Amino acid sequence: MKTRDRLRIAMQKSGRLTEPALDVLKRCGLTFRQSRDKLFCFGEGEPVDLLLVRDDDIPGLIEQGVCDLGIVGRNVLDEFSLTTGVDGAPLKEWRPLGFGRCRLSVAVPQEMAYENATSLAGQRIATSYPGLLGKWLRDAGVDAQVVTLAGSVEIAPKLGTADAICDLVQSGGTLVANQLREVDVLLESEAVLAGPATLPTDERGDMLELLFKRLDGVIQVSESRLLLLQTSRGNLEAVTRLLPGGPQPTLLPVAGQPDQLMLQALCAGEVSWRQLEEIKKAGAREMFVLPVEKMLA
């Protein structure tokens, strides 16, 4: 079989992960020409194409080698590894992407008593994640009946087809609307860049390496802030001590004011008003917090 020389990434065709996934790829400098059937998008600048599919199909497509990488929820990836994918080469979570955050949780009717997993012994639990739930129950040594449903898991207790559920939760609104109470978290999930454990070493390997480097920059900058301020040399130590974590600040002279310095610091996360006020009290002025757009270490 002729190997592909272009990289192919699978992502969700239409759903919660679609927009943020396209956005992160765009910030990595990848743009795509959308084809009419919208299943395949040809990459314009770099040799990277997209395959738009249902999220549940993504791990299988990677395992079969149809795609090199996929953007998919950790929940889908782990479920695949525990069920469908057990015979194939293991898949690897190469990078967490920081969006599509949710958790896979156990929820019970408001009135049901719950202390820990053993409270579920002998109960029927509805879920679309039989692999993850089964493993969690086994690890806890609990014998319960897993009822696998494709969707609308949250209404199973009301319908009498289950006593409890195990489903994805983000805000918890759906649970409240169905008189359910979240009692245990099985998995903290977010979208990840998944791929085979061993990546190709041909031409695609170079592109992969480039993509990972850009992605690391994109992930890092999305959380980074550049802090600019002025301070006198006398206050420099006090101001520097209060700076939020990050590499050493850069100091620049201020023209015409030999006692003043301009300080530039890259901060690993948000800089709050409170932190700014503290730094100001220590002697800083002319403070700016700027988002970082691109970074290449």
Q: How far apart are CA 37 and CA 106, in angstroms?
A: 39
Q: Which of 73, 85, 134, 157 binds ligand ATP (CB under 6 A)?
A: 73
Residues near 116 by Cβ (< 8 Å), separated by ≥ 6? 140, 184
Binding partner of residue 189 among Zn ion, ligand ATP, none, CB cut-off 5 to 8 Å per kind: ligand ATP
Part in contact with Zn ion (CB under 5 A); list of ranges 52-60, 114-122, 139-147, 279-287: 52-60
Q: Which of 60, 70, 85, 100 binds ligand ATP (CB under 6 A)?
A: 100
Query: Beta strands 164-169 and 124-127: pairing type?
Result: parallel
State yes or no: residue 12 binds ligand ATP (CB under 6 A). yes
State yes or no: residue 56 binds Zn ion (CB under 5 A). yes
Q: How many helices (H) and strands (E) does the chain have?
A: 9, 16
Give the nearer residue to ligand ATP in terms of CB position, either 102 or 229. Answer: 102
Q: How far apart are CA 133 and CA 168, in angstroms?
A: 12
Residue 262: count of CB within 10 angstroms of its CB: 16
> How many binding residues for ligand ATP (CB under 6 A)?
15
Give the nearer residue to ligand ATP in terms of CB position, either 69 or 221. Answer: 69
Binding partner of residue 108 among ligand ATP, Zn ion, none, CB cut-off 5 to 8 Å per kind: none
What x/- string results for residues 162 through 181 when contact with ligand ATP is judged by CB under 6 A? ------x-x-----------
State yes or no: residue 49 binds Zn ion (CB under 5 A). no
State yes or no: residue 189 binds ligand ATP (CB under 6 A). yes
Q: How far apart are CA 181 and CA 183, in angstroms?
A: 6
Binding partner of residue 249 among Zn ion, ligand ATP, none, CB cut-off 5 to 8 Å per kind: none
DSSP secondary structure string for all residues of 1-28: -PPPSSEEEEEESSSTTHHHHHHHHHHT
Residue 108: count of CB within 10 angstroms of its CB: 22
Q: Which residues bind to Zn ion, rule: CB under 5 A? A: 55-56
